[in-house]
Amino acid sequence: MKTAGRTLRLKLRLLAALLLLPASLGACWAAAFFATSHLYGAIGVRPPDLVRFLADAMLGLLLFAAAMAILSKAAFPGHMAVFHALIDAMRRLSRGDFDVRLDVKADGDGPFAQIVRAFNEMATRLADLENMRREFVANASHEIQSPLASIGGFARALASDRLSEEERKRYLDIIETESRRLSRLSDNLLKLAALESAHPPFRPKRYRLDRQLREAVLACEPQWLEKSIRIDADLPEAEIVADPELMDQVWGNLLHNAVKFTPEGGTIGVRLRLSGGEAEVAISDTGIGIGEDELPRIFDRFYRADRARNRDGGGSGLGLSIVKTIVGLHRGTIGVQSRPGAGTTFTVRLPRNLTGSGRNRCPS
């Protein structure tokens, strides 16, 4: 009711202002005419009609502008202050000052109050985006600098004539490993850029999801056989409409992580369930698990729950971010459950019949 009352009062003020415009303009012109007539009589001058008309018109417009300024302040008290503050804040925002906020007071839920709140919300979101951009650049620079420094250091060491053949081979292996890590990082950054572009590579088609999951498990067979890991798969026949190439990256990344963090003799589970119009895939392991305080951040770029272990394994902290982005493109969701020492389960839910190009983000 209060909002409706304020809106009604605002409309009445606008209507009154519109009705007063012609009357005000006529009154200002008449006042200008009488003022100039009095002035000409006082100084004994009679200018040509054209000059007199132009002088009356200019003076009438000046009086009208002054009257409108007074009227606007009377009809919309405080709103001009909001308007000028908004203009100043927008100029500061355009110069990159994302900390600017409007602290002027505006009436309740009126239009000016909504403008103030909308501007502050926009500035807050832009500030968040700028902080994310800076953090991303800093993290990417750090991740690139680390292998480059390692490569440079060992390359200089190879120039020494006092190295044994065994040391020389070890240094060359390290340089090769760091080069592969740098290549993977560059590849993942390019993938993220492509997936988050206005036109991501997205070519959905109908295919057998159970077959794709079996092929993904077999693709990493050398890794899980080497650690004597048992695979517990339950994959009933299921068709889905999705981009098979992108989904290959999802299953490959999740299975690779499961193998990497599961100790020898452990178990990895891959289960597929159909529920209504959704396909649910759960990939679980009996690995080291993830702490509760770290779970909300595991999909963040460059975040590593176990930094030392991930770095030793060549991880860049981008894999799960790519997974989440791909699942979001398919209008799906991904969730995780984990406890330290009790293993981890990632659950991916996808619509079986995808329509549209899927640009929405999936929740964590």
On whether residue 269 sits in a domain, the answer given is yes
The tens digit of pLDDT for each residue in 223-236 reads 888 899 999 999 99
Task: Give a yes or no: residue 102 inside a domain.
Answer: no
pTM: 0.60
Q: What is the structure's pLDDT at 42? A: 76
Q: What is the pLDDT of residues 162-188, one digit of tens each?
A: 888 888 888 888 888 888 878 877 777
Residue 62 lies in a domain: no
Domain that holds residue 261: 207-351
Contact 85, 93 (CB under 8 A): no
- For residue 240, being part of any structural domain is answered with yes
Alpha helices per DSSP H over the chain: 2-43, 49-75, 79-94, 111-158, 165-195, 209-219, 221-226, 244-261, 307-312, 319-329
In a domain, 26, yes or no: no
Domain CATH code at residue 218? 3.30.565.10
Task: Please report whether residue 322 resides in a domain.
Answer: yes
Query: Does some domain include residue 104?
Result: no
Beta strands 267-275; 230-234: pairing state: parallel
Domain count along the chain: 1
pLDDT band for position 6 (cuts 50, 70, 90): low
Quick one: which of 105, 190, 69 has its CA closest to 140? 190
Residues forming a β-bridge with 205 = 242
